[in-house]
Chain A
Amino acid sequence: DQQVKQNSPSLSVQEGRISILNCDYTNSMFDYFLWYKKYPAEGPTFLISISSIKDKNEDGRFTVFLNKSAKHLSLHIVPSQPGDSAVYFCAATNSGNTPLVFGKGTRLSVIA
């Protein structure tokens, strides 16, 4: 019973183009969403987050969009760079002291 789903295991994008990574969730109690990036042989690092009171959050080349009615969020990377090649994990939580629930990850490859 996956509460956070990343249905694309992998994505390949040309350098300079937009990368769009998708994430769906089933638990309507989730009110805070995060994206983590992971390089091989390293731990995940926090990238960007969004609260359920917003529908968009931007940080440089990274923008996260939240569609609460569809229980869907997406991460946009513009322009994509070879250094963005990594596994991206979507995560969600509800208010209070509950652990993050992670998706299975999407491997992004940015081709020069």
Chain B
Amino acid sequence: DVKVTQSSRYLVKRTGEKVFLECVQDMDHENMFWYRQDPGLGLRLIYFSYDVKMKEKGDIPEGYSVSREKKERFSLILESASTNQTSMYLCASSLPHRRAQETQYFGPGTRLLVL
């Protein structure tokens, strides 16, 4: 059974703080993804990674960075949190090959509030 875990379910931070969101998957998946979900905007891809040390920008990478030092762990970093980064953050993972990779497994999400 695939399991994707995220370090926090709820987080409150102040404007300007550096924020780390951690995601760990236990299924040896190569691909990992970070999304944010906002009302009326659906799921928007921030960054993704196809392998250790690799990262690719998604649709909305501004204000974010990522780190993939180990296969099972993908971290999202808000260098200087701003109020417009208040959102639900979702991590996902998947296998790499052609058909299986499209089925992504999601973590439970981290609801971040930036004051």
Interface residues of A (CB under 8 A from B): 6, 9, 32, 34, 36, 41-46, 49, 51, 89, 91, 93, 95-97, 99-100, 102-105
Knowing A97-B96, A102-B43, the reply to whether A41 touches B102 (Cβ < 8 A) is no
- Given A6-B42, A100-B104, A103-B42, list of 8 further CB < 8 A pairs? A9-B40, A34-B103, A36-B106, A41-B109, A42-B109, A97-B101, A99-B58, A104-B40
CB distance from A91 to the nearest CB of B (A): 8
Interface residues of B (CB under 8 A from A): 4, 9, 31, 33, 35, 40-45, 48, 50, 58, 90-92, 96, 98-99, 101-109, 111
Knowing A42-B108, A42-B109, A99-B48, the reply to whether A89 touches B43 (Cβ < 8 A) is yes
Knowing A34-B103, A97-B101, the reply to whether A44 touches B48 (Cβ < 8 A) is no
29 A-B pairs whose Cβ atoms sit less than 8 Å apart in the complex: A6-B42, A32-B99, A32-B102, A34-B102, A34-B103, A42-B108, A43-B4, A43-B90, A43-B106, A43-B107, A44-B43, A44-B90, A45-B106, A46-B104, A46-B105, A49-B102, A49-B103, A51-B99, A89-B43, A91-B102, A95-B98, A96-B98, A97-B31, A97-B50, A97-B101, A102-B43, A103-B42, A104-B41, A105-B42
CB distance from A15 to the nearest CB of B (A): 26
In the complex, what distance in Å separates the CA atom of A44 from the CA atom of B92? 9
Q: How many A-B residue pairs have CB under 8 A?
A: 57
In the complex, what distance in Å separates the CA atom of A96 from the CA atom of B55? 17
CB distance from B106 to the nearest CB of A (A): 3
Residues of B with C-beta under 8 A to A9: 40
- B38 (CB) vs chain A CBs: closest residue: A104
Residues of A with C-beta under 8 A to B48: 99
Residues of B with C-beta under 8 A to A6: 42
Residues of A with C-beta under 8 A to B108: 41-43
In the complex, what distance in Å separates the CA atom of A51 from the CA atom of B42? 23
Q: Are A46 and B103 touching (Cβ within 8 A)?
A: yes
- B106 (CB) vs chain A CBs: closest residue: A43
Residues of A with C-beta under 8 A to B35: 102
